[in-house]
Structure 1
Amino acid sequence: MSTSQRFGSAAVEHAEAVLVEQYPRLVRLAYLTLPDSLGRHTRVLLAHKAVQRALPRSGSPVASAPAEGSAGDPDGPLTLVRARVLRAALTPAGPAALVRARAGWPPVPPFVWGLRLWPPAGGIDEAARTLAGASAPVRAAFVLHHLDDLAEDEAVRLLARAGAADPAGAVQDALALPVGEPLLLALRRPEFDASVVSARPTDLLRRRRRARAAWAALATLAVTLTALSLHGPPQGPGMRPTAGPAASGVLDPARLERVPAEAWADTARVDFTAWPARGGRTGDRDLLARALRVWAAPGTNPVTTTPRTTADPPARPPQLLYAGELDGRAVVLLRDGDRIVRYAEPATGSGARTLDVARTDEAGVTTAAALSLSRDPGGAAARYLLAPWIARAATRDLQRPGDPARPLAVAADGVTAPAAVPPATGPCASWPVLELTSSTRIVEKHSFVLADLGALSPVHLTYTPLPDGPGAAPARQPREATGPEARAAWAPQACRLGELRGGAYRAVNVWDFAAGQLPDGGGRAVWSCTRASGWAGPGDVLVRLRPESGAPQDVASARSTAACGRFGQHLLAGFRWRSPAGRWYLLAAGSRQVTGITATGAVRAEAATRTLAAPWSGADGPVTLTGTLAGGGTLSALDGAGGGRD
């Protein structure tokens, strides 16, 4: 006779009531715990599957801690359901998880015919990106502690019950994640609800073609099997199975994905996936076939890729963005996941065919707003294909903040007239940029600035103004570089953008983090940090001192760092500076949470504020700077004042 504890009908009824009441929170827990390598559609389906299967059956055995699942304990049913949801999310493929993982297969979601599902943009996916790279138990611990308000020991017990290997370590790692209070408050907003999904049909025409192709393939297979049963397989040298994109039909122009023209105005994902196929040659099957063939096998044709990007052929039919003829060349733009590919060939006669590949991870309203189509032979002007949600386009000179913007003509298919681009070589007399305005159908009064650095996708320029007040004030967020203050801050930084050519950058932000008076009548100066954020995640930063008169001076720099970004909001920097009187000083400044600065080494000085100015006595050697933070703890300088990194 079995003596194990089993669920009674009353316990199951209580668990069902809790599941229905807490359904959005349970789906959120499952969605954020599931592997971040899965697509949004798959994660949503698996999250709902985990919650809907979390209800125990009457008479089934209790896995552990039977008192927690009893009807007499008010928190018991919720604890029970949470544990079962976590167990399913930690092993989303069920009993076959290990077998499928070893084979490199993803977990199998429920099947939904003809629909793609995803959470609302700007909602739950913001939390998913915050937790990207963390293990499933750590993500689960983050949700349990920060969003579901479980104490640390409660989260540890629940993770242990769900089968996590190191629940205590997962909770500690979750507590160490660089998440500030503003983000936590944002994550608690109602729109962060993975149980609210948007649904759109898949390509109906392609679906019909696939169904017909499937029936044809089954008929062919039946004939082939019959022939093999009579004659056996073909023999002889060179008889190898056909494989690759061409064999699977991925490179068939008829299978290219084409988005409806108005999809951008009725979707929660406003990015390259919402771009329709535009241009006068979208029906030119031969042109599209050549573009796909060169992509699959470039041969001697030149291919360029941005850093950390491959030119590998697509694994599934790509999305067609544009096919047309511009300035004597035929151009095709294709999207494959997080890559954009531009193919170009002479419109008439023979000549070089080129292929350019760029990455566009998690592009959005601004970073998916324009793509470079063509450049004139001298490289002084370019044409762009604008996103369908762009209502107006203009150009302006970033070095002349007081000059008005000049309207830029845009054709009906979204192609701009030739626009001046920043010089690649020679003197930097001007720095042309695009100023685009979004349609009011998606957002009101939204203009932004893009700069062409020679890549397929221009970079998005933003500006973060000086903090409002003392260290307790909330952090200022980057804003569009369209206002007078932003243009004034960008003017002396414009020519430094040329140093970013050849990189894979999505956005550049100028952050004015401190200001103060300079010694010996040097006037007021602003400390700024310019961060160039890459598509792959890491960013490069440059700290500069911008005086009221005279050229800005470089203070410190760093590559592949989180500094001056969302997860690097504390900053301290300093350097050796010569005053108008010819005397040398150590200057240092910190961001809003810095309440004091200490210098040791060649200069020994202290300041109880966010800025420091101390005479440099002439002693050689490095200086170590340390900042005191308002919330406790210390901060090292981005770059040692003597040139050595501390």
Structure 2
Amino acid sequence: MAYFVLPGRGKRVYRLAIARRIVDGAARGARDRSAAGHARWRTRVLRRALRPSRRLQIGLGPWLRALPARLPDPALTAALSRLAPHVRAAYVLRHIEGLPRYRVRDQLIDLGVRDPWSAIRAAEAVRVPVPRGADRFGPETLRPVRNRSVLPLATAAVLTAGLVGALVATEHGDAREASARAPRLVSAAPDAWTRGARTLDAWPARGDLAGDRAFVRRAAGAWADASGGHRAQERGAAGGTAQLLYAGRPDGTPLAVLRRGDRLARYTPGRLDVFPAGTGPSAPIALGGGRYLLAPWDSRPETLDGERLAVSGGVTAPVRAGTGCGRGPLFHLGSRTVGDLGGPRAAVLTHHSPAWRPRAQEPERLGKEGRRVWDRLACATPRPARPVAEAMAFDFWSGRLPHGGGSADWVCTRLAYAAGGSTAQATLLGAKARPTGACDAGRPVSGTWWQAPSDRWYYLAAAGRGLVPHADGVRRSTTRKRLLVATGTPRTPVALTAR
């Protein structure tokens, strides 16, 4: 991994020697053998490979003498060297290491990449030559790095043998201790949802690894270790149990999804992620790679174009939002449309036109106009800090902005969180998406200072049907078709009401 991420300058032998030196140096501080410790080790290796120090080129002799007999295909190295550093890292993680997209995103964030999805999309669009030579270096192909005399090496070998024995005994003891405090795994009967309430408790365990007891016990043990054992039992379900929802290989990598109360854990070998996810019974669970685990009673998902979306064992074929940020509408489930807003579960997305009146009603599928609005809103809305169960976009004003501003929509977006509570924010969708503060979906009104194409500043405000906006703190103002246009000093605070 370090070899392919390094900048593509110089000879392959020097590049490989530097790569191994980076790994050896990072390994000296990697005493933590847990999943979190391994993740920190990988981050150190990648960080040093992306920005290698010139000091790594000094004293390379021992690493040059330890090179394998077979080197990687130079065509592959040359193709990768033409990529931007973070795109190169994303390519290596995705295509050579085989990590799912969500884990590549998390790793790039750890490396300080501000827009990881752009790097991932660029990496997925790259076409590189199929390597003719080896693209991995296992222990059997690497020679030992001999940069000390034989006597210290012999002494180290004896000490290492004793240390390995101690580690084996310790790991066996740790395994027994983790097994003792790991939560008891339970799963619902395959037809439980047909005989009782449709809740998360009725979701059966699915996936081709659901019967692999060793794998799912490792997942449960990793959760116990990460949560501190006793604290996890206090926060979890009664009796210290965890529900197995999925265990399989959706992206080629073994994955287990467990549930305790309102929290989900997603486990892959070497990594565990825990999310607050609520207890909503029907929200699809993200498995990574654009695949979603559906509720057992949701069996006929459709694409946004109305075509059948393939499902195997309760898991959808890969489907992603068609937006630049990777968030937005995904697919239809019955009478509702679900979308990705950045959380562990898909959220129900709805849209209402300016003629809508707030009232209790069942969610309806997004139509063409609703998808257009949500394709823009999903990227304009900040990534929610909490998992979202439902998101409603009320397009309370639509028209043309003054002074050549073009057509626009003013939208009040209400997010209902999986754990309870909600927030609502307004957004002016014109040539650019502009957040305009909090709003009330029952009596929407919002305003903002706005710069016209002529570079002059105006204060704009709009209100929902049956309301008229009123602004204090501006100079001359006119209101037409529920749109207020005023002059004044830009950025001056304005008191806005609707009457």
- Normalising by the residue count of structure 2, what TM-score does the alignment of the two structures yield? 0.55
Is residue 321–residue 339 contact of structure 2 (8 Å, CA) maintained in 1?
no
* Match in the other structure for 1:363: 280
* Match in the other structure for 1:624: 495
Q: CA deviation at 1:390?
A: 1.8
Q: CA deviation at 1:621?
A: 3.0
Aligned equivalents of 1:502 and 1:617: distance in 2?
35
Is residue 183–residue 233 contact of structure 2 (8 Å, CA) maintained in 1?
no
Is residue 542–residue 557 contact of structure 1 (8 Å, CA) maintained in 2?
yes
* Match in the other structure for 1:385: 293
Q: How does 1:105-120 map to 2 (within 5 A)?
A: none
**Matched pairs, number:** 320
Q: CA deviation at 1:295?
A: 1.5
* Match in the other structure for 2:132: none
Aligned equivalents of 1:294 and 1:430: distance in 2?
29
Q: Structure 1's 384 and 519: CA in aligned 2 closer, same or farther, altered over 3 A?
A: closer
Quick one: which of 588, 605, 619 aligns to 2:461? 588
Quick one: which of 166, 180, 183 aligns to 1:251? 183
Structure 1 stretches of 4+ moved >6 Å: 244-247
Aligned equivalents of 1:432 and 1:515: distance in 2?
21
Q: How does 1:389-538 map to 2 (within 5 A)?
A: 389-396=297-304, 404=305, 407-411=308-312, 413-420=313-320, 428=324, 433-438=329-334, 446-451=335-340, 453=342, 455-468=343-356, 475=359, 479-496=363-380, 499-500=382-383, 503-520=386-403, 522=405, 524-538=407-421
Q: CA deviation at 1:554?
A: 1.3
Q: CA deviation at 1:574?
A: 0.9
Aligned equivalents of 2:254 and 2:183: distance in 1?
19
Q: Structure 1's 619 and 341: CA in aligned 2 closer, same or farther, altered over 3 A?
A: closer
Is residue 336–residue 349 contact of structure 2 (8 Å, CA) maintained in 1?
no
Aligned equivalents of 1:252 and 1:581: distance in 2?
67
Larger relative contact order, structure 1 or 2 (CA cutoff 8 Å, min sep 6): 2
Aligned equivalents of 1:335 and 1:429: distance in 2?
28
Q: Structure 1's 337 and 312: CA in aligned 2 closer, same or farther, altered over 3 A?
A: closer
Aligned equivalents of 1:518 and 1:524: distance in 2?
6
Tell me the amino acid that sits aligned with residue 301 of structure 2. A
Deviations 1:200-221 (CA, angstroms, capped at 9, x unpaired): xxxxxxxxxxxxxxxxxxxxxx
CA RMSD of aligned residues (A): 3.8
Q: Structure 1's 311 and 436: CA in aligned 2 closer, same or farther, altered over 3 A?
A: farther
1:340 aligns with 2:254: no
Larger radius of gyration: 1
Is residue 361–residue 535 contact of structure 1 (8 Å, CA) maintained in 2?
yes
Is residue 296–residue 313 contact of structure 1 (8 Å, CA) maintained in 2?
no
* Match in the other structure for 2:161: none
Aligned equivalents of 1:265 and 1:467: distance in 2?
39
Aligned equivalents of 1:475 and 1:604: distance in 2?
36
Q: CA deviation at 1:335?
A: 2.0
Q: How does 1:49-448 map to 2 (within 5 A)?
A: 251-253=183-185, 256=186, 258-267=187-196, 269-298=197-226, 314-316=237-239, 317-345=241-269, 352=270, 354-365=271-282, 368=283, 370-373=284-287, 375=288, 381-396=289-304, 404=305, 407-411=308-312, 413-420=313-320, 428=324, 433-438=329-334, 446-448=335-337
Residue segments in structure 2 that go unaligned for 5+ positions in a row: 1-176
Q: Structure 1's 435 and 521: CA in aligned 2 closer, same or farther, altered over 3 A?
A: same
Deviations 1:1-22 (CA, angstroms, capped at 9, x unpaired): xxxxxxxxxxxxxxxxxxxxxx
Deviations 1:161-219 (CA, angstroms, capped at 9, x unpaired): xxxxxxxxxxxxxxxxxxxxxxxxxxxxxxxxxxxxxxxxxxxxxxxxxxxxxxxxxxx
Aligned equivalents of 1:603 and 1:579: distance in 2?
17
- Normalising by the residue count of structure 1, what TM-score does the alignment of the two structures yield? 0.43
SS at structure 1 position matched to 2:183: coil
Is residue 463–residue 478 contact of structure 1 (8 Å, CA) maintained in 2?
no
Deviations 1:331-389 (CA, angstroms, capped at 9, x unpaired): 222222222222222xxxxxx1x222222324143xx2x2122x4xxxxx333222111
Is residue 588–residue 611 contact of structure 1 (8 Å, CA) maintained in 2?
yes
Tell me the amino acid that sits aligned with residue 286 of structure 2. S
Deviations 1:84-130 (CA, angstroms, capped at 9, x unpaired): xxxxxxxxxxxxxxxxxxxxxxxxxxxxxxxxxxxxxxxxxxxxxxx
1:570 aligns with 2:471: no
Quick one: which of 531, 534, 546 aligns to 2:429? 546
Aligned equivalents of 1:260 and 1:394: distance in 2?
27
Q: CA deviation at 1:465?
A: 2.0
Q: CA deviation at 1:588?
A: 1.0
Identity %: 33
Tell me the amino acid that sits aligned with residue 531 of structure 1. R
Quick one: which of 582, 599, 603 aligns to 2:471? 599
Aligned equivalents of 1:620 and 1:530: distance in 2?
24
Deviations 1:571-597 (CA, angstroms, capped at 9, x unpaired): 321122334555443221123453x33
SS at structure 2 position matched to 1:544: strand
Q: CA deviation at 1:516?
A: 4.3
Is residue 467–residue 475 contact of structure 1 (8 Å, CA) maintained in 2?
no
* Match in the other structure for 1:49: none
Q: CA deviation at 1:530?
A: 2.3
Q: CA deviation at 1:524?
A: 4.9
Tell me the amino acid that sits aligned with residue 419 of structure 1. V
Deviations 1:395-436 (CA, angstroms, capped at 9, x unpaired): 45xxxxxxx35543211x21233334678xxxx287674213
Q: Structure 1's 310 and 480: CA in aligned 2 closer, same or farther, altered over 3 A?
A: farther
